[in-house]
Structure 1
Amino acid sequence: MNTQRDNSSMVRRSLLGLLPIAAALGACRPDTHSVTLPGPRAAGDGSPVRGGVEPADTHQAGVDRPAQPQTHAVVSVYDLPSEAGPAQVAARLGEAVLELTGKPGEALGVEAAGLTVTVGLGPRPVGSAGQGLSGGLELPAFAREERTDRTWGGDLLVQVCANDPVAVALADKRLAEILTAGGASGRWSQAGFRPPGGGPVRNLLGFPDGIENPRTRPELDREVWLDGPGPFADGTIAVVRRLRVDVTGFLDQSVVRQEEAIGRRKADGAPLSGGEALGRLDLSAKTPRGRYLVPAMAHARRANPNATGSGRMLRRGYSYRNGPDDQGLLFVSFQRRLRTFIATQRRLDDGDDLMRFVTATASAAFFVPPAFTPERPLGRGLLGERS
């Protein structure tokens, strides 16, 4: 394998993938019935995001901050060098992240409203320390997967998000160059986009997405962030999957059939069980004849935490479109236990009217360490101390 060529190609794909996003977004976003909540995109404290978003005292940015996910993203997965260098590579990456998010205008030459960089470590670099994570970081095989050596697993996750696609591309390129210089090699990279606005936004199927997310600080503490002493405290577990969706096949169905497959109304996202737009499902609601209002195989029912018996995921996914035959969802979720995702996906595999249109083409799980500083390098306690 030519590592330099692979990484150059990876950076080029990120740049090319971001350039047509604005046009694609205009083409794919429905013209009517848009579903957004009022208010500006905000940081965790509710204030509008103007510059970059640095790691906080405890958590990395790009998980629950900004509260509304930015409109553009690139997710990139790398392998770290096998020699005694992962700690140094991670420390240098952390320094670059602090530089980019602290003063993005100076570092990139362009302003970058809401720029975040979120870094995760895979099973191999975490190593035996990963036994401290409930369920570890290894994902089992699921249905409808197209597995390749380059798109399954990985040592390092780098998620770059901002409200400007140029800023995302430049930041991703800068970080790829730093990682390549340190001996890391690129596996895969995917650019994604989502409509602007507050609250859940529409995906390429035209339905609002992200309604069932944790919303309050107690919910986030219970479902997303790890506690306890040691290097895992204040971190979380990320699952990233590129899901190719047969958008044409799904949309060729009647709107009624689409709604039955999703479990929500297309016009406003309201659950078929009744209630207001963006409300949560009532899984017990039935017709007078005893039929469930949300069909048994509807995606919203099958993935609902009350049905899976697992926790709730914080999903910050993005649509992607590489071409008419390769488009869908760049799925990103954060949870405190990998079992939350595994239990949900297995239930979907058992039966789900949406999943027959979906094929996973890339997948991995990572531990997202707590916030880092120049004095407390990224990966400290997991990758060793910086020499």
Structure 2
Amino acid sequence: MHRADHRPSRRTFLDVTGALVAAGLTAGCTPDPARPGPHAPSAAATPVPVAATGRHQAGVTLPQPAQRNLLAVVADLGAAVAPGPLLAELGQAIRTLVAGADPRLLGLPPGDLTVTVGVGPRLVRTAGAPLPGAVDLPRFSRERIAPRARGGDLLIQICASDALLPPVVAAALLDQAGDRIRERWRQSAHRGANVPVGNGLSAPRNPLGFIDGIVGPHTTAEQRRDLWLAGPPAVAGGTLAVLRRMELDLPRFAALSVAEQEAVFGRHRASGVPLSGGTVASGPELGAKTPDGRYLVPVDAHVRRANPAVVGVGLMLRRSYSTDGPAPGLLFIGFQNDLRTFTATLTHMDASDALLRFTTTTASATFLILPGFDRQHPLGSTLFG
């Protein structure tokens, strides 16, 4: 999961990416639907290109349907490096890569490639301490995080239907940045096919076998309210991302009966329907009880402890990816326009969420996902121009 501190030379870039292509290494990312739409295409379908430019960066709510492969790279900028020119250069490289015009793609068609760039709290504070994204994540329980796996100045999230693309694109962008950045850690991950959940929406299963991402800002109005930043002008059109990499105690979870697993989540494993009844898309009735007075959704169930109405926060666009490594793992990414949406939720979960007993967090960071860009407005120019 971790990578050497030095930046690879161009020769190393060619050697590494060529080896990756030859070996057919996989990554993985399937964003949750942002609004009702068709189900994911079959593997034989040709991926539809996604514009790299616009009001919002691609890779948060677009494309729709979503890719299945992700690579997240977290890095630091050198102390004397000006963020503005570097980000503008990366934005130009992203446009060229997405267009398929960069020879560093090694002949791979870009398909539905998206690259999403965020900056960490240290860089945001240099632009303005009161700005959204200027605050570091607090520490929580059940963490075992090495210093280099906490925080960071730069996030590069790469998603594509073709699993060969993310590591090749990452190598191209690191080559572009040169010695101006120093990689901290990276994580590849993958998700399975989406499962229909009603109302034209679909969501994938998480590594524990449960349908994930059912609740979120799916409509345009919900996204305007809870996902996208409306201001100040320097960050308008961006959002805030939280990354948490975790190890999962899959053997202990698998040893539970299906009923016990369902009590951990508060939903039926096969269908995703809340234990209180209804449909998979309907919210759980947290007050519903059995005739003998027990809550149908247990008091420590994940859907209760993480419920935005119970916590008193907005909706979060949540994504969970299965990771490869010595131990089974999960990469969680949450997008929201208020960091409290995440911090208050995890604080509420920390008290008694049954799901957390099966997780240990090994990396943690938050980033301001920069507003969208185009030829006239380079990436990062509203913040560092």
User: TM-score scaled by structure 1?
Assistant: 0.86
Q: Report the identity percentage.
A: 41
Tell me, in whole angstroms, the C-alpha distance in 2 between the residues paired with 1:2 and 1:40: 41
Distance 1:5 1:281 in 2: 50
Task: Identify if the C-alpha distance between structure 1 residues 355 and 104 changes in structure 2 by more than 3 Å, giving closer, same or farther.
Answer: farther
Q: Does 1:217 align with 2:220?
A: yes
Whether 1:100 aligns to 2:109 is no
| Equivalent in the alignment of 1:341 | 342
Letter in 2 for 1:216: T
1:103-114 equivalences in 2 (<5 Å): 103=100, 108=105, 109-114=107-112
Structure 1 match to 2:364:
363
* Residue number among 116, 140, 143 corresponding to 2:141 in the alignment: 143
Q: Shift in Å at residue 143 of structure 1? A: 0.4
Correspondence for 1:175 among 173, 176, 199: 173
Q: Deviations over 1:118-153 (max 9, x none)?
A: 000001111243534357331000001112121000
Question: What is the aligned partner in structure 2 of residue 319 from structure 1?
Answer: 322
Residue aligned with 1:150, SS: helix
Distance 1:91 1:56 in 2: 13
Paired residues of 2:38 and 2:65 also in contact (CA < 8 A): no
Matched, 1:39 2:35: no
Shift of 1:12: 6.0
Verify: 1:293 aligned to 2:296, yes or no. yes
Deviations 1:92-132 (A, max 9, x none): 11111111123368762112332110000001111243534
Contact 2:121–2:133 (8 Å) recurs in 1:
no
Aligned counterpart in structure 2 of residue 192 of structure 1, from 166, 171, 189 = 189
SS of 2:260's equivalent in the other structure is helix
CA contact (8 A) 1:137 1:366 kept: no
- Name the CA shift for 1:229/1:134 in 2 (closer, same or farther; >3 Å): closer
In 2, Cα distance between equivalents of 1:378 and 1:38: 29
Deviating above 4 A after TM superposition, structure 1's stretches of 4 or more consecutive aligned residues are: 5-9, 11-16, 18-22, 104-107
Q: Which residue of 1 aligns with 2:250?
A: 247
Deviation at 1:3, TM superposition (A): 2.2
Post-superposition Cα deviations, 1:156-196, rounded to whole Å, max 9, x if no partner, equal 000000111001221122112222x1410000000000112
d(CA) in 1 for partners of 2:354 and 2:9?
37
Query: Which segments of 5 or more consecutive residues in structure 2 lack a partner in the other structure?
Result: 30-35, 196-201
8 A contact 1:51–1:101 mirrored in 2: no
Match of 1:127 among 104, 122, 125: 125
* Residue 75 of structure 2 is aligned to residue 72 of structure 1: no
What SS class does the counterpart of residue 316 from structure 1 fall into?
Answer: strand
Which stretch has the larger CA shift, 167-176 or 249-258? Answer: 167-176
Partner of 2:153: 155
Unaligned runs of 5+ in 1: 26-36, 43-47
> Are residues 1:261 and 2:258 paired?
no
8 Å contact from structure 1 (residues 52, 104) kept in 2:
no
Letter in 1 for 2:114: T
Q: Distance in 1 between matches of 2:381 and 2:332?
A: 28
Q: 1:135 to 1:170 in 2, by over 3 A?
A: closer
Quote the residue 1:60 is aligned against: 57
State the Cα RMSD in Å. 2.9
- CA distance in 1 between partners of 2:158 and 2:238 (Å): 18
How far the C-alpha of 1:287 sits from its partner, in A, is 1.7
Say which SS state the counterpart of residue 142 (structure 1) adopts.
coil
Aligned length: 362
TM-score by length of 2: 0.86
1:306 is displaced (CA, Å) by 1.0
Is the 1:315–1:334 contact (alpha carbons within 8 Å) kept by the matching residues of 2? yes
